[in-house]
Amino acid sequence: MITIAMVVISWLVGRQYSPTSWGPDPLAYVLTALIFLPFVARTRAPVVAFAASTSMLLVFLAFGYTQIAFNFWAPALLLYTVASLRPPRITGACAGALMPVLFWAALVSNVAWYVAVAEAVLIPLTAWMLGNVGRQLGLRNEQLAVLTEQLRIEQELRTEQAVTEERLRIARELHDVVAHHMSVIAVQTGVAGYVFDDDPPTARAAVDTIATTSREALAEMRRLLMLLRTDDEPGDTALSLAHLPELTDRMRTTGLPVTLDMDPADTDDLPSGLQLCAYRVVQEALTNVIKHAGFAATEVRVRRDAEQLTVRVANDKGTPSPGAEGTGHGLINMRERAALYRGSLSAGERTGGGFVVELTLPIGVPG
């Protein structure tokens, strides 16, 4: 439609222009149509369209027409299209070919030679400059589209990674909750069954411990389920090093002689995630003591300096609890937790018997 409109407008200008109207000359109208018809292919083949239009303008001038109408602008507009779609070296060649044609067209229109030179130079250069700006904007848009797609893919990968890490974190939490509390319940169930007839007070105390431990396990399970239902952080309900006294007290009620050496003031300002990591390691280590050393004497020591937090759980040699075999995942989970905070965990036999677990977590230099 644009091409047809340009042809019709050029016909009207050429017919009405005074004093050198085309009048009824059919050749002028045909040549004018041929000058503008290449606009149909300007986006698919801009260089070919430009060459065709410029050639037809040369033919038009060769037939001696001095009334140019709008024909003068057809190659100039197509040069703009070439500049917007093709590299500068191609546009430069097209601009160089157009300049003498425009100079001839200006001369036959009876303008001063210096005006003809100005038109022949400035019009192609202006079309080239404007078209090149459009080409650069197009290239930048393509680059932005590529970068946007890359960012989208990276965001999806980060989201998938975050989901995977969250699932692993929840899995570790579930393991720690179930392994610790169920180990305590299993040991106390064995004690209650062993002394049920001979020592009812001890059996009753074991049953009370089982009830307390079960309630605590349910509370922690509810906390984990709340984490799955909301995007919020666990906040004040998260376990921390401040809960270690409660943990050791609970373990003592099961019969494990455990002592805690920690100054709460040294750890209350540590990040919540790091504190949860340390708490879970202590919990898992104490669970392993019950499983593999029974009621051996155990010491939990927490130390914090300017650069790191150190947690040590050491127990004497003991006798494994019957029916409390582990799956072997405890130490793996503890090491994974330590790795999340760029820490390290060592575990092994003590000299003279027993076992020791030591966790080291970097906390950086304050300030």
Domain end point (choices 78, 111, 144): 111
Domain that holds residue 23: 2-111
**Is pLDDT at 23 greater than 50 in this prediction?**
yes
What is the reported pLDDT for 362? 92
**Is pLDDT at 106 greater than 80 in this prediction?**
yes
Domain end point (choices 111, 136, 167): 111
47 alpha carbon, distance to own chain's centre: 42
The answer, as to whether pTM is greater than 0.75, is no
To the nearest 10°, report the CA torsion of 251, 253, 255, 259: 50
Cβ distance 268 to 204 under 8 Å? no
Do 73 and 181 belong together in one domain?
no
What is the reported pLDDT for 166? 65
Q: What's the average model confidence in pLDDT over 152-166?
A: 79
Cβ distance 303 to 278 under 8 Å? no
pLDDT per position as a tens digit, 244-275 = 999 999 888 888 899 999 988 888 888 887 88
Structure tokens at 349: 């036999």
Do 166 and 91 belong together in one domain?
no
The more confidently predicted of residues 333 and 38 is 38
Which amino acid makes up residue 42? R
The more confidently predicted of residues 3 and 95 is 95
What is the reported pLDDT for 300? 96
Q: What's the average model confidence in pLDDT over 71-92?
A: 90
- How far apart, in whole angstroms, are the C-alpha atoms of residue 344 and residue 360? 5
What is the reported pLDDT for 235? 41
Q: What's the average model confidence in pLDDT over 303-329?
A: 79
Q: Does some domain include residue 147?
A: no
The more confidently predicted of residues 316 and 160 is 316
Q: What's the average model confidence in pLDDT over 114-131?
A: 90
The domain that contains 307 carries what CATH number? Answer: 3.30.565.10
**Is pLDDT at 365 greater than 50 in this prediction?**
no
Q: What's the average model confidence in pLDDT over 297-323?
A: 88
How many angstroms separate the Cα of 66 from the Cα of each of 55, 108, 111, 121?
17, 5, 11, 20
What is the reported pLDDT for 327? 53
Q: What's the average model confidence in pLDDT over 51-63?
A: 91
Structural domains of the chain, count:
2
pLDDT band at 70 (very low <50, low <70, confident <90, very high): confident
What is the reported pLDDT for 326? 54
What is the reported pLDDT for 179? 67
Do 208 and 291 belong together in one domain?
yes
pLDDT band at 321 (very low <50, low <70, confident <90, very high): low
Q: Does some domain include residue 176?
A: yes
Which amino acid makes up residue 37? L
Q: Does some domain include residue 13?
A: yes
Do 278 and 198 belong together in one domain?
yes
pLDDT band at 196 (very low <50, low <70, confident <90, very high): confident
Do 298 and 214 belong together in one domain?
yes
Q: What's the average model confidence in pLDDT over 124-138?
A: 90
**Is pLDDT at 18 greater than 80 in this prediction?**
no
DSSP-based three-state secondary structure for 361:
strand
Do 202 and 290 belong together in one domain?
yes
What is the reported pLDDT for 232? 43
**Is pLDDT at 359 greater than 90 in this prediction?**
yes
pLDDT per position as a tens digit, 208-239 = 878 877 777 777 666 666 655 544 444 444 68
Do 161 and 264 belong together in one domain?
yes
What is the reported pLDDT for 234? 43
Q: What's the CA angle centered on 276, arms 366 and 306, to 5 degrees?
A: 20
**Is pLDDT at 66 greater than 90 in this prediction?**
no
